[in-house]
Structure 1
Amino acid sequence: MRIAKRDDWKTEPMPSASTKIALEKLYSQEEFDRITAGVIPEQMEDKWFIFYEAPWIYFHRSWTGFCIFKVRFEVVGDSVKIAEVQVNRDPAEYSNTDDKRNASMLLILLNSLSGRDLRNEMLRYIKGQ
């Protein structure tokens, strides 16, 4: 498995117009290792470029390079938890300002990377909860 690095794709920094949102989630070390491997887009349909630089994982839109999410993790015993989430609030780069939908989208991305079942997160996202 190839590990994504910042230099693998065009990236823009998180703009100063950003905000923190609350999100609690624990992952096992094995799941965290899968998350931190990231994603390098392989085709036009791949919407995200994701890479890890401790202690942050960065989520960039693949077409624009805009940083949409930054997530900082902390080790807690045998697990790794989300400690902080920053979301892009620059309307020229990202127009979704609904914190619940942003949290749901981010959980879908993280759980997909970790190998977890996505059905419940997808249903919550679709329902806007």
Structure 2
Amino acid sequence: MRIAKRDDWKTEAMPSASTNITVEKLYLQEEFDRITAGVIPEQMEDKWFIFYEAPWVYLHRSWTGFCIFKVRFEVVGESVKIAEVHVNRDPEQYSNTDHERDASMLSILLDSRARRDVRNEMLGYIKGQSKEL
């Protein structure tokens, strides 16, 4: 598996118009390894470019290169937890302003990379019933 690096795709820095949200998640080391391997888009339908530069995981929209999420992780015992999350709030780059939906979307993206079952989270997100995570 090829590990994604920043220079594998066009990226823009997280704008100053950003905010912090709380997302409480814990991952096993092997799940974290899958997350940090990242994602390099291979076709037009691939919407995200994801890469890791310790201690941050960056999640960019593939078509624009805009940084939507920036997530810092910390080791806790034999697991890894989300310690800090920045979310883009530049209305010209990202129109969402709902912290709860952002937390839900980020959880879906990270959990799917970790190979966790995200079907219920996806249904809740699609129905607009995302819960605080």
Asked whether the two chains share a fold, i.e. TM above 0.5, the reply is yes
Partner of 1:82: 82
What's 2:49 paired with? 49
What residue number does 2:118 align with?
A: 118
Partner of 2:8: 8
What is the CA distance between 1:119 and its match in structure 2?
1.4
Code of the residue aligned with 1:73 in structure 2: it is F
CA distance in 2, matches of 1:124, 1:100: 11
What is the Cα deviation at residue 123 of structure 1?
A: 2.4
The residue aligned with 2:64 is 64
| TM-score normalised according to structure 1 size | 0.98
User: What residue identity is the alignment partner of 1:63?
Assistant: W
Could you tell me which runs of 5 or more consecutive residues in structure 2 were left unpaired when the two chains were aligned. none
**3-state SS of paired residue (1:4):** coil
How high is the sequence identity, in percent, across the aligned residues?
83
Shift of 1:127: 3.1
Structure 2: how far apart are the matches of 1:86 and 1:120? 24
Q: Does 1:93 align with 2:93?
A: yes
Q: Deviations over 1:76-118 (max 9, x none)?
A: 0010000000000000000000111111100110011000001
Which runs of 5 or more structure 1 residues have no equivalent in the other structure? Answer: none
Q: After TM superposition, which residue ranges in structure 1, 4 or more long, deviate above 6 angstroms?
A: none
Amino acid paired to 2:117: D
Partner residue of 1:108? 108
Residue matched to 1:26: 26
- Mapped partners of 2:81, 2:123: distance in 1: 23
Normalising by structure 2, what TM-score?
A: 0.95
How many residues were matched structurally? Answer: 129
Per the TM alignment, residue 26 of structure 1 is displaced from its structure 2 partner at its CA by: 0.3
Q: Tell me which moved more, 112-121 or 68-77.
A: 112-121
**CA distance in 2 between partners of 1:123 and 1:100 (Å):** 15
SS at 1:124's partner residue?
A: helix
